[in-house]
Amino acid sequence: MNNKPVFDYPLFAMGFRVFFALAGLSALALIALWNSISNGSLHIDNYYPSTIWHAHEMLLGYSVAVIAGFLLTAVKNWTGRQTVTPDQLASLGLLWIYGRVTPFYSELLPDGLIAAVDFAFLPALAYFVTKPVLKTGDFKNLIFTALLLLMALGNGLIHTQILGGSETSAMLGLNLVVALIVMMILVIAGRVFPFFTERGLSGVICIRNPGLDIAAIVLGLAVFVLMMFGITGLVLTLVALAAVVLNVMRVLGWYNPRIWFVPLLWVLYVGYAWLILGFALVALAAYSLVVPSLALHAFTVGGIGILTLGMMARVALGHTGRALKASNVMAIAFVLINVAALLRVLLPAILPGWYGGFVLASSYCWLAAFSLFVFYYTPVLTEPRIDGEPG
């Protein structure tokens, strides 16, 4: 009997390969499309209203693709068990693609089918991530199952409004997904930042403080819970500032000034700094000192955008047998993605009259950064490991 996978290609050898490739391509396509839609030059049938589509796709399309690639790879390493076969991985990737494409066929396909296809991805991902965890009894990693299923709930709230079951649930769903992605990043950071730092800087030993880790994550979660329940003023300000302080303390335990000579490290630390800035902006927005959208984009374009690009760059090198050193091309990409965040978050606050120009310039920097990623990492993701090892 021939058990050879149908998709027996390097691209389907591990989860990070397929989903980092899809994430890179979607980062380009989604922003290019959004630019054309938002300036009125492109009119296209869509299951989603345009602003909800943009938010949904950047969170539940691009960001979830990165999360899928990371978790399918990391859980295999943590448990020693395979998460997906090549054929299952190809099917999961195809399901993700269908979720991106079917909304543009809303005149041909029933809305319920479009919603079901998109909704199915996160539960399917949770299944493949959870299976090896349960087999090995590595129950601490069930936190990722919970986060994925709660993200599916958030996605369900978005579709509930689109399908006419609610008038307001989409925004709640989007805010929930942002919160859960940030929480997932905070959890993952506690595992990989010290490890990556010690691997990247010889002789460095990072301080690990599980109690501080838990407190920083819980305070971060509390900020989002308060915002979702509409609690503002002094309570939100104090909790957000506490989240800032605890997360700064957390990062300082891992930090070493030598990271600034290693692009694969500094990009991660700067990305985390954007998350901390997001909490600080929440504190200011609680008293209407800044608009809340600045905090949102500090979390998304800044924190999520920069950290996902940095993580993809680091993980892909490490799992293809390559030296853990960013090329000059990727160092430029890391600078560009930070400029994109500055243009989207901070400069509009300083010069609001230039808002439209800053947003457009930010999108161009984002597109340039991910163009460099796709250019440099396509062979990394599609060719066999250079050391001859499987994976």
CB atoms within 10 A of CB 3: 5
Angle, to 10 degrees, between the axis of helix 328-341 and the axis of helix 355-382? 150
Q: Which residue has the tokens 């303390």?
A: 249
Residue 102: predicted pLDDT: 97
Is residue 315, in this structure, part of any structural domain at all?
A: yes
| 255/168: higher pLDDT | 255
Is residue 388, in this structure, part of any structural domain at all?
A: no
DSSP percent split of the chain into helix, strand, coil, nearest 5: 80, 0, 20
Examine the pLDDT at 1 and tell me if it is beyond 50. no
**Per-residue pLDDT tens over the stretch 262-295:** 999 999 999 999 999 999 999 999 988 889 999 9
According to DSSP, residue 59 is labeled I
**Per-residue pLDDT tens over the stretch 7-26:** 678 899 999 999 999 999 99
Per-residue pLDDT band at 66 (split at 50, 70, 90): very high
Residue 3: predicted pLDDT: 63
**Per-residue pLDDT tens over the stretch 297-326:** 999 999 999 999 999 999 999 999 899 999
**Per-residue pLDDT tens over the stretch 76-133:** 999 999 999 999 999 999 999 999 999 999 999 999 999 999 999 999 999 999 999 9
Q: How far is CA 215 from the centre of its chain?
A: 22
Average pLDDT, the chain: 95
Is residue 3, in this structure, part of any structural domain at all?
A: no
Nearest residue to 134 via CA among 123, 125, 145: 145
**Per-residue pLDDT tens over the stretch 325-379:** 999 999 999 999 999 999 999 999 889 899 999 999 999 999 999 999 999 999 9
Examine the pLDDT at 138 and tell me if it is beyond 90. no
In CATH, what number is assigned to the domain containing residue 245? Answer: 1.20.210.10
Examine the pLDDT at 168 and tell me if it is beyond 70. yes
Of all residues in the chain, the percent with pLDDT exceeding 90 is 89
How far lies 271's CA from each of 165, 254, 341, 365, in Å? 37, 14, 10, 16
Is residue 1, in this structure, part of any structural domain at all?
A: no
Nearest residue to 156 via CA among 104, 120, 201, 204: 120
Q: How far is CA 115 from the centre of its chain?
A: 21
Please give the Cα distance from 294 to 368 (Å, whole number): 22
Examine the pLDDT at 174 and tell me if it is beyond 60. yes
Is the separation of the CB atoms in 34 and 62 below 8 Å? no
DSSP 118-136: HHHHHHHHHHHHHHHHHHH
Is residue 302, in this structure, part of any structural domain at all?
A: yes
Please give the Cα distance from 145 to 73 (Å, whole number): 15
Examine the pLDDT at 5 and tell me if it is beyond 80. no
**Per-residue pLDDT tens over the stretch 239-268:** 999 999 999 999 999 999 999 999 999 999
**Per-residue pLDDT tens over the stretch 347-361:** 998 898 999 999 999
Residues whose CB is less than 8 angstroms from the CB of residue 163 and which lie 6 or more positions away in sequence, other chains included: 111, 112, 115
End-to-end Cα, the chain, rounded Å = 24
Range of the domain at 193: 12-382
Is residue 297, in this structure, part of any structural domain at all?
A: yes
Q: What's at 15, amino acid-wise?
A: G
Please give the Cα distance from 63 to 121 (Å, whole number): 13
Q: What's at 301, amino acid-wise?
A: V
Mean pLDDT, rounded, for 372-389: 92
Number of domains in the chain: 1
Please give the Cα distance from 179 to 225 (Å, whole number): 8
Nearest residue to 169 via CA among 98, 115, 107: 115
Is the separation of the CB atoms in 265 and 200 below 8 Å? yes
